């Protein structure tokens, strides 16, 4: 069971690394929370994103993602909810009075558990992620290597494991960079608003996307 070749693992892990390095709502949310709430906020966001990704892995393994792939209504409903949520997060950040980058800012930090839950919503409400898993994971199913659902679940979980190797250093590096910029008010405000605008743009892009 799970008997794969070296070429199989090399191809899959290379694809998983590129997938986790590609920019998108997940990465923007993690870096944004790192900026707003420090290192702990970044890690809370990261764990939330991983939990949301795990939900998609389970859905792909048992076939529920096929509903989003075949039902235009289901895809549109999830898409619009996810897009509205991203835009709402961006507007909240823009409307805040103070920049979280500033050393003397008075903006209130969000509870880490709340950030974690937001991360779950950001990842799980993106239907394109569900469809991606449904299209991507079957490419690495090998006949005779085990039950299809088990192979899909294994490879999906390994994508999250790869993320666990890539994203924590990004959170740590982002936290250090932001700390070094806290004394510069103009740069702090610019970065704060830029991250908020990025979330809004990603929400709009998701709303305009098709299957």
Written as tens digits, the pLDDT of the chain (211 aa) is: 778 888 999 989 988 888 788 777 888 888 888 877 888 889 999 999 999 999 989 888 887 666 656 667 766 776 787 678 778 777 776 776 554 444 444 445 678 899 999 999 888 887 767 777 777 777 788 888 888 888 889 999 999 999 999 999 989 888 877 766 655 566 656 666 676 776 677 678 767 766 5
Q: Are the CB atoms for 182 and 35 separated by under 8 Å?
A: no
Q: Are the CB atoms for 122 and 86 separated by under 8 Å?
A: yes
- For the purposes of burial, counting CB atoms within 10 Å of the CB of 20, is it exposed (0-12), middle (13-18) or buried (19 or more)? buried
Q: Residue 109 has what DSSP assignment?
A: P
Backbone φ/ψ region at 23: left (φ over 0), alpha (ψ -120 to 50), beta: beta
pLDDT of residue 106: 44
Q: Residue 125 has what DSSP assignment?
A: T
- The owner of tokens 């937001």 is 118
Q: CA distances (Å), 18 to each of 22, 109, 163, 168, in order?
A: 6, 32, 10, 16
Q: CA distances (Å), 185 to each of 42, 99, 182, in order?
A: 22, 8, 7
Longest dimension (CA), the chain: 61
pLDDT of residue 91: 79
Q: Where are the domains of the chain?
A: 6-208
Can you tell me whether residue 142 is helix, strand or coil? coil
pLDDT of residue 179: 66
pLDDT of residue 149: 83
Give the number of other CB atoms < 10 A from CB of residue 104.
8
Q: CA distances (Å), 43 to each of 67, 132, 209, in order?
A: 32, 24, 29
Q: What is the pTM of this model?
A: 0.72
Q: To the nearest 5 percent, what fractions of the chain are helix, strand and coil?
A: 80, 0, 20
């Amino acid at each position: 069971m799970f008997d794969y070749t070296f070429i199989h693992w090399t191809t899959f892990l290379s694809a998983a690394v590129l997938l986790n390095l590609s920019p998108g709502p997940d990465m923007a949310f993690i870096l944004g929370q790192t900026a707003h709430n420090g290192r702990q906020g970044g890690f809370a966001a990261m764990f939330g994103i991983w939990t949301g990704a795990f939900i998609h892995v389970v859905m792909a393994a048992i076939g529920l993602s096929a509903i989003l792939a075949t039902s235009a209504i289901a895809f549109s409903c999830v898409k619009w909810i996810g897009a509205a949520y991203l835009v709402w997060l961006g507007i909240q950040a823009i409307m805040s009075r103070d920049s979280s980058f500033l050393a003397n800012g008075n903006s209130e930090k969000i509870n880490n558990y709340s950030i974690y839950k937001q991360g779950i919503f950001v990842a799980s409400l993106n239907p394109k992620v569900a469809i991606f898993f449904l299209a991507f994971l079957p490419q690495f199913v090998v006949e005779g290597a085990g039950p299809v659902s088990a192979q899909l679940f294994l490879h999906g979980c390994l994508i999250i494991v790869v993320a666990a190797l890539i994203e924590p250093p990004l959170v740590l590096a982002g936290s250090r960079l932001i700390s070094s910029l806290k004394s510069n008010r103009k740069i702090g405000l610019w970065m704060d608003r830029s991250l908020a605008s990025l979330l809004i743009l990603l929400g709009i892009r998701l709303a305009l996307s098709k299957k």
